[in-house]
Amino acid sequence: MKNRRVVITGLGVVAPNGMNVSEFSIAIQKGESGVRFIEQLKELNFSCQIAGIPIYNSDYLNNYFNSIQLLGLKATGMEYGVIAGLDAWKDAGLPMSETDTPLWDIGVIFGTGIMGVDKFREAIYKVDEGNVRRLGSTTVIQTMASGISAFLGGILGCGNMVTTNSSACSTGTEAILMAYERIAAGNAEIILAGSTNDSGPYIWGGFDAMRILPHKYNDNPAEASRPMSATANGFVPGSGAGALVIESLESAKKRGATIYAEILGGHVNSGGQRNGGSMTAPNSEAVKQCIRKAVAASGIHADEIDAINGHLTATSKDSTEIQNWCEALGRRGVDFPYINSLKSLVGHCLAASGSIESVATILQLKENFIFGNINCEDLHPEIASLISRERVPVKTIDFSPEIIAKASFGFGDVNACVIFKKYKT
Amino acid sequence: MTEKELLSKLKTIITPYVQNQEGLIKLTEDTDFIKDLEINSANLVDVILDVEDEFDIEIDNDAMEKMLTVKASIEVIADKLAAK
- How does DSSP assign B36-83, residue by residue? TT---GGGHHHHHHHHHHHHT----HHHHHHTTBHHHHHHHHHHHHHT
**DSSP bridge pairs for A128:** none
Size of interface A-B (CB pairs under 8 A): 20
Q: Give ∠ CA B56-B61-B66 in degrees, rounded to 5.
A: 90
Distance CA A234, CA A46 (A): 14
Give yes or no for B11 touching A (CB within 8 A). Answer: no
Nearest-angstrom CA–CA distance, A353 and A173? 8
Give the integer Cα–Cα distance in Å for A318 and A323. 9
Closest CB to B16: pick one of A67, A136, A138. Answer: A67
Contact A136 B46 (CB under 8 A): yes
Question: Which residue from B minimizes the CA distance to A136?
Answer: B46
Q: Are the C-beta atoms of A399 and A293 separated by less than 8 Å?
A: no
pTM of the model as a whole? 0.96
CA angle A249, A298, A320 (to 5 degrees): 130
* Chain-chain contact of B46 with A71 (C-beta, under 8 angstroms): yes
SS3 A122: helix
- Chain A positions touching B57 (Cβ under 8 A) are none
Find the residue in A nearest to B52 (Cα): A134
Any A CB within 8 A of B45 CB? yes
Chain A closest CA to B52's CA: distance in Å? Answer: 10
Contact A165, A178 (CB under 8 A): yes
Give the minimum alpha-carbon distance from A155 to chain B in angstroms, rounded to a whole number. Answer: 14
Contact between residue A19 and residue A239 where contact means Cβ atoms under 8 Å apart:
no
ipTM at complex level: 0.86
Contact A110, A192 (CB under 8 A): yes
Nearest residue of A to residue B16 by CA position? A68
Find chain A residues with C-beta within 8 A of B44's C-beta: 137
Residues in B closer than 8 angstroms to A137, CB to CB, are: 42-46
C-alpha span between A356 and A27 (Å, rounded): 13
CA distance A65 to chain B (A): 13
Torsion angles phi and psi, residue B8, rounded to 5: -65, -45
CA atoms within 13 A on the CB side of A90: 13
Contact: A136, B40; criterion CB under 8 Å: no
**pLDDT at residue A2, as a whole number:** 61
Distance from CA of B30 to the nearest CA of A (A): 24
Nearest by CB to A136, from B19, B40, B45: name it: B45
Is A137 in Cβ contact with B46 (below 8 Å)? Answer: yes
Across the interface, whether the CB atoms of B49 and A134 are under 8 A apart is answered yes
Give the residue from A387, A288, A404 showing the smallest Cα distance to A333. A387
- Tell me, yes or no, if B49 comes closer than 8 A to chain A by beta carbon: yes
Cα–Cα nearest to A164, from A210, A135, A197, A124 = A197
Residue A418 gets the label, from left (phi > 0), alpha (psi -120 to 50) or beta, of beta
What is the distance in angstroms between the Cα of A302 and the nearest Cα belonging to chain B? 54
Which contacts of A18-27 are long-range, i.e. CB under 8 A and separated by 24 or more positions?
A19/A54, A19/A55, A19/A56, A19/A60, A19/A83, A20/A87, A21/A87, A21/A91, A21/A359, A21/A363, A24/A359, A24/A360, A24/A363, A25/A363, A25/A367, A27/A345
Tallying the residues shown for chain A, one arrives at: 425
Residues of chain A with Cβ-Cβ distance to B16 below 8 Å are 67-68, 71
Interface of A to B at Cβ within 8 Å reads 67-68, 71-72, 134, 136-138
B16 CB near a chain A CB, below 8 Å?
yes
Q: Which helix (H) or strand (E) holds A344?
A: helix A343-346
In chain B, residues with a C-beta closer than 8 Å to the C-beta of A138 are 46
CA A92 to chain B, closest CA, distance in angstroms equals 29
Q: pLDDT tens per residue, chain A (425 residues)? A: 468 999 999 999 999 999 999 999 999 999 999 999 999 999 999 999 999 999 999 999 999 999 999 999 999 999 999 999 999 999 999 999 889 999 999 999 999 999 999 999 999 999 999 999 999 999 999 999 999 999 999 999 999 999 999 999 999 999 999 999 999 999 999 999 999 999 999 999 999 999 999 999 999 999 999 999 999 999 999 999 999 999 999 999 999 999 999 999 999 999 999 999 999 999 999 999 999 999 999 999 999 999 999 999 999 899 999 999 999 999 999 999 999 999 999 999 999 999 999 999 999 999 999 999 999 999 999 999 999 999 999 999 999 999 999 999 999 999 999 999 999 98
Query: How far apart are alpha carbons A416 and A358 in whole angstroms?
Result: 12
Q: How far is B63 from chain A, CA to nearest CA, in Å?
A: 14
Backbone angles phi, psi at A340, to 5 degrees: -145, 165
Query: Facing residues of A407 across strands?
Result: A417
Are A136 and B16 a contacting pair at CB < 8 A? no
B24 close to A (CB below 8 A): no
Any A CB within 8 A of B21 CB: no
Question: Does residue A329 contact residue A302 with C-beta atoms inside 8 Å?
Answer: yes
Q: Are A68 and B16 a contacting pair at CB < 8 A?
A: yes
Residues of A whose CB is below 8 A from B42: 137
Q: How far is CA A220 from the centre of its chain?
A: 25
